[in-house]
Amino acid sequence: MRQLTEKETETLFSKLANYTGRSLTHLIQPPSSESSDPKNPSSERHVFRIQNNRVYYVRESIANLATSVARANLLSLGTCLGKFTKTGKFRLHITALDVIAPHARYKMWIKPNGEMPFLYGGNIVKAHVGRWSEDCPEHQGVVVFSMSDTPLGFGISARSTAEARRLEPTGITTFRQADVGEYLREEDTLFAT
């Protein structure tokens, strides 16, 4: 495991900022430096580390301990956010959902009749949208929730909120990027090295 280079960090942060906005700083900084409790792992600082082109989000104390393990012997550590492609672009994996969902800037809730089409890899149409964040621009990262506030995946808005209101019921509002159905559909390749 190693730290990200400056270019890798910039690419990663621009991708994460597409979904979290200014809340990206909450991923890096601990909630409060005064309330830092060594017995409470959630109050500890988290860092980004890379191993075999995959980026991991891990507590700093665990990342420091991992330096004693040889790179060839270390398979995974922390939460895998995604991986860098051969062309240098960053692709978020579904495993990043738990990290970005609490900090999402734009959210979309889908009705129960729209959950299964989304979880099978389909885009979200207007008829399946229960509600969405106001003032969401076009081509912006959106985290998709069920009506009971369970994060189901994330995608890119196909239209702005104002344009989406005028769409017909079969018009696409969000392009799917990842959904929790991938855990079953791609279980053989999701964590393959």
The pLDDT mean for the chain works out to 88
Dihedral over alpha carbons 165, 170, 176, 181 (to 10 degrees)? 120
User: How many CA atoms, within 13 angstroms, populate the side-chain half-sphere of residue 125?
Assistant: 10
The three-state secondary structure class of 50 is strand
The predicted pLDDT at position 184 comes to: 83
- In tens, the pLDDT along 64-77 reads 888 888 888 888 88
Q: What is the mean pLDDT of residues 105-127?
A: 94
Q: How far apart are CA 24 and CA 103, in angstroms?
A: 7
The predicted pLDDT at position 34 comes to: 45
Cite the DSSP H helix spans in 44-124: 60-65, 97-100, 112-119
For 4, the token pair is: 């990200």
The predicted pLDDT at position 185 comes to: 83
Q: Are 181 and 121 in contact (CB under 8 A)?
A: yes
In this predicted structure, the answer to whether residue 123 has a pLDDT above a threshold of 70 is yes
The three-state secondary structure class of 56 is strand
- In tens, the pLDDT along 129-187 reads 999 988 899 999 999 999 999 999 999 999 998 898 899 999 999 999 999 988 888 87
The predicted pLDDT at position 159 comes to: 92
**For a pLDDT cut of 70, what percent of the chain falls above it?**
91
Beta pairing, strands 107-110 & 141-146: parallel
**For a pLDDT cut of 90, what percent of the chain falls above it?**
61
- In tens, the pLDDT along 38-59 reads 566 566 889 999 988 899 999 9
Which domains can be identified in the chain, with CATH numbers? 2-99 (3.10.450.220), 106-184 (2.30.130.10)
Q: Identify the residue whose tokens are 């507590």.
A: 59
Beta pairing, strands 151-157 & 172-179: antiparallel
The predicted pLDDT at position 86 comes to: 93
User: How many CA atoms, within 13 angstroms, populate the side-chain half-sphere of residue 52?
Assistant: 12
Residue 77 neighbours by CB under 8 Å, 6+ apart = 1, 49, 51, 56, 58, 62, 63, 66
pTM assigned to the model:
0.84
The predicted pLDDT at position 51 comes to: 87
